[in-house]
Homo-oligomer: A and B are copies of this chain.
Amino acid sequence: MSKCRVCREPAIIDLPRHNANFCAEHLIQLCRRQVEKAVKDHDMLAPDDKILVAVSGGKDSLAVWDLLIELGYQADGFYIGLGIGEYSDSSHGYARCFADDRGLSLRVLDLRDEYDYDVPTAAKVTRRVPCSACGLSKRHLFDQAALDGGYDVVVTGHNLDDEAAVLFGNTLRWDVDYLARQYPVLEARDGFPKKVKPLVRLTEREMAAWCIVRGIDYQIDECPMAVGNKHLAYKEALNAIERESPGSKAAFYLEFVDKMAPLLADRRGRPEGGLQHCAECGAPTTGDVCAFCKLRERVTGHEAVPVELVLTGAARRAYVAARTTAAAGAAEGEGSDR
């Protein structure tokens, strides 16, 4: 049996990019140190910062919240109900349980209740990929919640795999302005809050292991709306490289941050032409009305579209099969210990 690199006790995980195995205790130590290093290297957080964590109910957002509390920070959670059928219902449940078990404050906003739309409906009405309306809505509402709540900084759970895949997509197109903004920290400016990503030095697999060791239940399913998107194809391409040369993925992202991002820093700033206040909501925007308010105006008031009607092909079949299995399991009383 393989042994922990640190203490030589039996290991629970092998991490090829570190060319080592770790026991539960020293995996936890490794994760904690990588977060501390990211926070320190990029001046992400001050000890007394009032932090708002963007919580999805998945492993990454719950792990980063847990890590920050463990490291002594003061951090509240904010969950947005996106209306993605049972996926959203169960995600909300995981977020709620995590917060309640630990006595943490979780604020919840439901898109349908507050703005009379949801992500599947927005995707249907705009005829764009669901991730587009979803990302736009979340960015706007997290920003707004942080400013309204007097928070110093918004924390998101983007991990190394996420950031490497987004970087790969931006690199494949050499989208220089997107590349310039891809950085673990975006400073507060022009009415936007500071935003930081403390998990950029840790992988998906490490965050899953963190949750298991720490006893955190989380949403393990991929979002059904995201199945088949390019982001997942980019992850797979990078995983193929990583299998051949462990450490390639971390080098790809971290060397970008070290070597290339500084060359693009002057493009990370404010947009040309400056910003004004959105006529509808007051948020900073380059036009008269911000992108969120434009989206909201377009998609508000449409009757909710069931998730499966927005999905196509394999995603739809997988979603319907999962629902059918879950329903059958519940009917037969098999779901009780899940």
Contact = CB atoms under 8 A, between A and B. Distances in A.
Interface in A235-267: 236-237, 240-241, 244-245, 248, 251-252, 255-256, 258-260, 263-264
A173 B255 CA distance: 6
B241 A233 contact: yes
Contact of A251 (B172, B236, B237, B256): B172
A248 B172 contact: yes
A171 interface: yes
Interface in A157-201: 171-174, 176
A240 B241 contact: no
A230 interface: yes
Contacts of A172: 241, 248, 251-252
Interface SS majority for chain A? helix
A248 B171 CA distance: 11
A169 to B, nearest CB: 10
* Residue of A236, A237, A252, A258 ringed by the most chain B CB atoms within 10 A: A237
Contacts of A264: 263
Interface centre among A236, A260, A264 (most CB of B within 10 A): A260
Contacts of A263: 176, 263-264
Of residues A172, A234, A258, which shows the largest number of chain B Cβ atoms within 10 Å of its Cβ? A172
A171 B240 CA distance: 16
Contacts of A240: 233, 236-237, 240
Contacts of A252: 171-174
A173 B244 CA distance: 15
B230 A176 contact: no
Contact of A259 (B176, B233, B237, B258): B176
A172 B241 CA distance: 10
Contacts of A248: 172
A73 B234 CA distance: 42
Contacts of A244: 230, 233
Given A237-B240, A240-B237, A260 B230 contact: no
A103 to B, nearest CB: 43
Q: Which 8 A-B pairs have the closest CB atoms?
A: A174-B255, A174-B259, A172-B252, A174-B260, A237-B237, A174-B256, A233-B244, A176-B259
20 contacts: A172-B241, A172-B251, A172-B252, A173-B251, A173-B252, A173-B255, A174-B252, A174-B256, A176-B259, A230-B244, A230-B245, A233-B240, A233-B241, A233-B244, A236-B240, A237-B237, A237-B241, A240-B240, A263-B263, A263-B264
Given A172-B252, A173-B252, A174-B258, 11 more contacts: A172-B241, A174-B252, A174-B255, A174-B256, A230-B244, A233-B244, A234-B241, A236-B240, A237-B237, A237-B240, A263-B263
